[in-house]
Structure 1
């Protein structure tokens, strides 16, 4: 039997949290359940989970605040948000602070499990030693750092690093918008499309020191990185 995936679940609805915990544990997961963000942060530091599933609205410390604190010290652990919110700004904020995915309540356990497995597998696969040269930049993908010549390294968010990685791998070719949305976000709906536009804008700003590097919007198709 495969090793159990250690998952930290932060959910303040006691009944829902217990249902999720018990359902995951019957599917080969080791689940650490916390009822608020403060306890979740303490358990994160002591239990070393492989993935975090965080409810957005929690007492003492909400999911977004918790994710920000964790991202300040850990740039690679996958984070899934559970949310009853559906506003574009909330979804974009979740991705912007380092979330990898989100599920709107109510959701099916099967969908949560598939997304958890995809993120854990992707994280393991992409922990490589690959360091890429892009114009006058050096991009350390495993560390999620971008450095211009001998300047101080810029720390990228988890999603910025993965988006840049795929743009570089498809350099001078059009990166299909729908394809990359489904690969990195798990869906190509309106909310995630808007979120990706925000990340593209952030990457453009971080790459502007090298005037030869451009991320071109190919209307109706996607984006192309040129140098």
Structure 2
């Protein structure tokens, strides 16, 4: 059975080009031309991955993604957008995006992102997605921290950072690697935002004093639970 990709894009010429490329790569491509059409087709036909524009008529990509996340917490979503501010990227991840590609883009780059997300989803479905961190249990798919029966849902951005830290527990992760995982680029202007999210994660782990996220100044961050 072919991998099914739902493309939600209101630019018809671009949609045709991307769908043709996906077909050539062996995927089944379903086209929708606005957020409402995309949401309807996801509900009726499903998809293994969604590629969606942000600015669309009738229903924008962010709102569509929120509705899709009510149905599925794990279907990968890639946003396509001409917007480039950090606030826009963070908003996209906060509503449940897995990746963010700025227009104009190379088709080859889109294919690389698609393959990476599909591989990651397969790994999550067959491998470990629940981690014990001190007294906390972390479910990376549900983005949920549990301690003494109390559950805390962390944001998509916090989860992307924690995913990197937990698989490298007791090892320092380069700040550049964390920023690329979240924003797709390493820029000085992102450093304060990264530190802000690290601070939120520290608060999320506040009920276990053995857990710490240590700032290795000038390099990165290290998660410990000793």
* Deviation sequence 1:8-39 (CA, Å, 0-9, x none): 11111111111111121111111111111011
**What's 2:91 paired with?**
93
Q: Residue 141 of structure 1 aligns with which residue?
A: 140
Q: Does 1:81 align with 2:79?
A: yes
Q: Where do 5+ consecutive residues of structure 2 fail to align?
A: none
Tell me what 2:201 maps to.
203
The separation in 1 between residues aligned to 2:106 and 2:191, in whole angstroms, is: 23
Matches within 5 A, 1:11-160: 11-127=9-125, 128-151=127-150, 153-160=151-158
Mark the CA change 1:155 to 1:75 in structure 2 (over 3 Å): closer, same or farther: farther
Unmatched runs of 5 consecutive residues or more in structure 1: none
| 3-state SS, counterpart of residue 71 of structure 2 | coil
- When the two chains are superposed, the root-mean-square deviation of aligned CA atoms in Å is 2.3
Distance 1:200 1:68, change over 3 A: farther
Show the counterpart of 2:185. 188
Match of 1:5 in 2: 3
Measure the CA separation in 1 of the matches of 2:5 and 2:198.
30
Could you tell which deviates more after superposition, 131-140 or 45-54? 131-140
In the alignment, the residues of structure 2 paired with residue 40 and residue 69 of structure 1 have an alpha-carbon distance, to the nearest angstrom, of 11
State the SS of the aligned residue for 1:179: helix
Contact between 2:9 and 2:34, CA under 8 Å: does it hold in 1? yes
Match of 1:224, SS? Answer: strand
Distance 1:136 1:81 in 2: 36
Task: Sort the Cα spacing of 1:24 and 1:8 in 2 relative to 1 into closer, same or farther, 3 A.
Answer: same
Q: How many residues align?
A: 223
- Give the TM-score, by structure 1 length: 0.86
d(CA) in 1 for partners of 2:45 and 2:106? Answer: 26
Q: Structure 1: how far apart are the matches of 2:91 and 2:192?
A: 11
The 3-state SS of whatever aligns with 1:126 is: helix
- Kindly indicate whether the alpha-carbon contact (under 8 Å) linking 2:3 and 2:27 is maintained by their aligned counterparts in 1: yes
- Give 3-state SS (helix, strand or coil) of 1:23's partner: helix
- CA distance in 1 between partners of 2:4 and 2:195 (Å): 33
User: 8 Å contact 1:138–1:149 — kept in the other structure?
Assistant: no
The Cα shift of 1:196 comes to: 4.5
Q: CA deviation at 1:90?
A: 0.7
Residues in 2 aligned to 1:133 and 1:204: alpha-carbon distance in whole angstroms? 16
Q: CA deviation at 1:222?
A: 1.2
